[in-house]
Each structure stands twice: as C-alpha cells, then as structure tokens.
Structure 1
Amino acid sequence: MNTIYLRRTYMHDLPAIKQTIEDGRQALKAAGSPQWQDGHPTVGTIINDITHHQSWALIINDQLVGVATLQPGPEEDYHNLAGGAWYNDNDHYLTIHRVAINHQCRGQHLSSFLFSNLLTIGQEKGYTDFRIDTHSKNKVMQELIKKFGFRYRGTVEVADRLDPHRLAFELNLSTNGLPVEYHVDNNFMKPLVDKEK
C-alpha cells in the first residue's frame, strides 16, 4: 500500500525539488506556455522557500514527487489587480506558488491531493482566504484551481521576462464555526491507495 502525505521541505530535498520544478517547466513548455521559461523559479527562490518554512513536499513511499509553496501575503504583485477586484481585501491570505508534480506521477490526481492538503494546512493556521495566479495558457492549473472553488478576479503582472501577465484567482472559505475537517476533503487519493492493497 502506498504511503502518501505532505510535509515541510528541508535542504536535503533540494535536488529532488529542482528536478520536480524542471519537470514542471518542461510540461509548461510542451503545453505552449511561456510560464517558467525565463529561468524562474530560481534555485535561490527554492532555497528561500525552504529556509522560510513555506515549501511543502508531496511524498509517496518516502520519495518526493510534488512540491508547492504556501506563502503568507501580502503579495506585492497582487496590489495592482486589473480588470476586477479581490473579494476580500481586508483579511490575511496565503498565496500558493511554484506547484509542480514529478513527470512520472502525472495523471494520478496528485495535484488534487496536494491542493487539498495545502488548504487544510492553511485553515489550521487560521487562514480562510487563498490566492493564486497562473498563465492563460496553463489550462491544467486553471482547471485544478477552479475545481477547488477559486474564482477569477482579474489580471496581475509578475516578474517574468518573457510574459508577465497572469490570471489571478481567489478562494474565500467560510468556516461557519465548524472544525477544519468538515471543509476540506483529503480523500482524493483513497481510490488509488485502495488499488495498491
């Protein structure tokens, strides 16, 4: 049976993270997206995520197969939102960045498991508002974030030498006084896990 979980990353994870990010870069290139093709995210950015305890690893059977950053706002790039408005611009929020899955593990709905856990972690930290941006040609990411209820809010510009324009999305969760486990379903991988029994 597969053991699947999310944990913080450490410096010894750097080679695996770099490879996973590179896999994501190649997937974006194959899809015709200029996102990440200017060299971002850099090794320095990845190290900064690790040292600030903002980087999370998706682990299957002790192997790092996915990565994402959960970064507290405010996000400087999000101050100038064009073509719309943030639904909640008063409360603190978390931004999801640098999401990548190892190319050998694609098609297994691991991105859904990763997002589910990221949102759970955020809620456990007291956040109910989340933001993310992606390129208009990154259809896979757009489908994923819409699946989780993120709403399109407008466009932002990021530090990308090839194409800085990004679609910006926001998720606003209501706790209604219920515990975290009632709001985020972490069982996306259960069918896959059950197959391995």
Structure 2
Amino acid sequence: MATQFVRLATTNDIPAIMKIIKQAQGLLANDQIPQWQNNYPNRSIIEEDIAKKYSYVLIVDRAVAGVATLLQEEDPNYYKIYHGSWEKPNDTHYTSIHRIAIAQDYHGQHLADLFFSHLLTLSYQLGYQQIRIDTHARNKRMQHIIAKVGFHYSGIVYMQGDEQDQRQAYQLFLP
C-alpha cells in the first residue's frame, strides 16, 4: 500500500499544485462546466492560500497527488443563500473546502474520499464542527463525492454576488 497523508502546502509545492489545477480546469472545460475557468484559481490565489496556511496537499508516495483549500474564515459568498437555508445560519464558525482537485494520474483510486476525510479531521482538530462547500450544478462528479462524504444540500449561493454564477451549497456538522 502506498504511503498517503495530508500536510500544509508550501511554496515549493506550487508547480505541482498549478499542474493539478490546470488538469482540473481542462477536465471541467471538457465536461462543459464553467467552474474554474477564466484563470481561476490562479497562482496568486494559491500563493495567498499557502501564506494563510489554508492550503493542504495530499501526498501519495512522496508525490503531490491532490490539493485543497481549507478556509478558516467566513466566506463572503456564503453570506446569502437562496432557495434554501443554512442549518444554524447564525453560526459563522465554520471551515469551507475550496479548490480541491486530484491529479489526473491518481484518478479512479478514491483518493478524494481519503482527502475529504483528512480535511474533516483537520477541521475538527482546528476547533470547527461545521464545514461548508459548494460546486457547480453541472459538476456531478463533485456532487457525488460531497454526498458520499455526508454533506447535506443547503441551497444556492452566488459567486461574488453574481446571480449568473451560481453554486450549489452544502453543509456538514461533525458530532
């Protein structure tokens, strides 16, 4: 069995992270999903995530196999939710999982499940019991993983307040 673990990303990981991001952008574009297009996420966003110690990498046998951001501050995109509601809407103490992707060479190995498990554990260890995430309505692959991990659908959020850029929002509470 391969050695698999999660650690904070460093600036040395940026080339591998950007390669994974580009692969994910291509996959989404091929699936005609407008999420992660138009140079998002870009290197400066990844650098900011790393500087804030919000960026994590999944390591498989010493190689960066995945990347994710575990945001530990309120997400402005989650201030308003439409066609639903947050459970405990006044509880703003939560982490958000963003910019999660697995390298193409590791697809089909269920590493996203493992990565999510680690991110939930990290959230708990950091003192958070509520986790939020969002994805595009066409991103059935991510919706499947989100549901499998135990997230519950909450409603629709708009990216930067743009109602043309909607995401399905989900929430999970750890016991």
Structure 1 equivalent of residue 47 of structure 2 = 47
Structure 1 equivalent of residue 36 of structure 2 = 36
Q: Which amino acid aligns with 2:103?
A: N
2: distance between equivalents of 1:76 and 1:160?
9
Q: Is the 8 A contact 2:77 2:161 kept in 1?
A: no
1: distance between equivalents of 2:167 and 2:81?
10
> What SS class does the counterpart of residue 164 from structure 1 fall into?
strand
Alignment of 1:11-160 (within 5 A): 11-91=11-91, 92-159=93-160
Q: Is the 8 A contact 1:93 1:130 kept in 2?
A: yes
Q: Count how many residue pairs are aligned between Structure 1 and Structure 2.
A: 173
> What SS class does the counterpart of residue 65 from structure 2 fall into?
strand
- Deviation at residue 47 of structure 1 after TM alignment: 0.3
- Deviation at residue 160 of structure 1 after TM alignment: 9.6
Larger proportion of strand: 2
Q: CA-atom RMSD, angstroms?
A: 1.4
- Deviation at residue 73 of structure 1 after TM alignment: 2.9
> What SS class does the counterpart of residue 58 from structure 2 fall into?
strand
Of all paired residues, the percent bearing the same amino acid is 39
CA pair 160-112 structure 1, distance change in 2 beyond 3 A: farther
Q: Which amino acid aligns with 1:4?
A: Q
* TM-score, normalised via structure 2 length: 0.95
Structure of higher CA gyration radius: 1
- Deviation at residue 110 of structure 1 after TM alignment: 0.5
- Deviation at residue 55 of structure 1 after TM alignment: 0.3
Deviation string for 1:158-182 (max 9, x for gaps)? 1498x511111101122xxxxxxxx
1: distance between equivalents of 2:160 and 2:57?
24
Q: Which amino acid aligns with 2:120?
A: L
